[in-house]
Chain A
Amino acid sequence: MSRLGFHEKMLWAQFAGVLAVVGFYMHYLAHSAPGHHYLHAVLIVLLFLFASVRMFVRWRSKSVIEDERDRAVASIGTRWSNNILWLGLVIILVMYWDLGNMRSAGFLIGILFHLLLVAALARIIRELVAYRMSA
């Protein structure tokens, strides 16, 4: 009998996925020349793939239950990621007011990308901690 529930296993898979993305991103930063790149497109494809796999696994295992503890843990994680996204929004607005512009669309997309990555990581880690604390 597995010690981890379906949602916790999925969180570990997400964690591994995000770490892979971070690793890919570091490699990209170290080895790519300036200019337009395919990184964001790759990330969107990865996200789409992961969502598809998750839906497929969930469809295959019909006995998967999302109970009140799963929902409680998810709400804790969502609160953390929401806080980070709000903080990011405030930072973007302050930068806009401070500088008068956002320099470029690429710069803004870069900020949003990092913000989403940090928010996703915070949500996943916080949910994993919550699962372990009430395991």
Chain B
Amino acid sequence: MAGPSSHTEIAAELATRPGHASLGSALVRWMMITVSLVFLGALLAAPLFAVFATALEKGWAAYFQSFADPDTQAAIRLTLITAAVVVPLNTVFGITAAWCIAKFEFRGKSFLITLIDLPLAVSPIVSGLIYVLLFGLNGWFGAWLQENDITIVYALPGIILATMFVTFPYVARELIPLMQQLGNDEEEAAITLGAGGWFTFFRVTLPKIRWGLVYGIILCNARAMGEFGAVSVVSGNIRGMTTTMPLHIEVLYNEYNFVGAFAVASLLSMLAVVTLIIKTLVERSGYRRR
């Protein structure tokens, strides 16, 4: 198996790392790489390619035609609206929570951090269920809401609330450890020299945390646009009205409109790829996740 060239390679390796190299370790190395690549290929790469292959199986014309469907356009619009409301709100929350947790000492701090992370542990279905139980027709506020003509469940507000719940911790959990590590010295210096609180935040803190913030926001956005389970429970799945893009995929898929379903899926896949690219660029700029 091992030709003369690989013999010399092994000999060279033996010389540099005594006791470590042998034919066996080359074999282990080759096996580990193969196993990893086959596993990831079957589980990650194949499905990703399948999305685009199925979306394009009837040609580019059919692919673009599927976006002419008004219900598909409505779904895209609804997803964009939801993300446009949820991401800024959760960003403001994340910054506020990180400021209070990283800059001050108080009792119950670690408990507060645990509570902020809580939505990550909850099943998406339960995340939607809780809002139906609160605002649904038989829910705690159901009767009152109906009297006052307010609809939350099976409408936009419910979708926004459920999405806020599932993306709640994303920005905060990125910023809290980052700001804790950066410390308070520069902020204290700025304040002591007479700078105001807002000025200090925008000129001193924000530039330091910007990469962590970008990181948190893009992950929050990806989840907000892609959430399925929680939104599915509160949306009522009214075609063209309360279906976000992931829900619209399900509608089209169940109608055996595979080109349409995978065309919408291809948009969300591209979003995921862009998210990963930005994430990699942020990491390359020196930001290290904690």
Partners in one complex: no
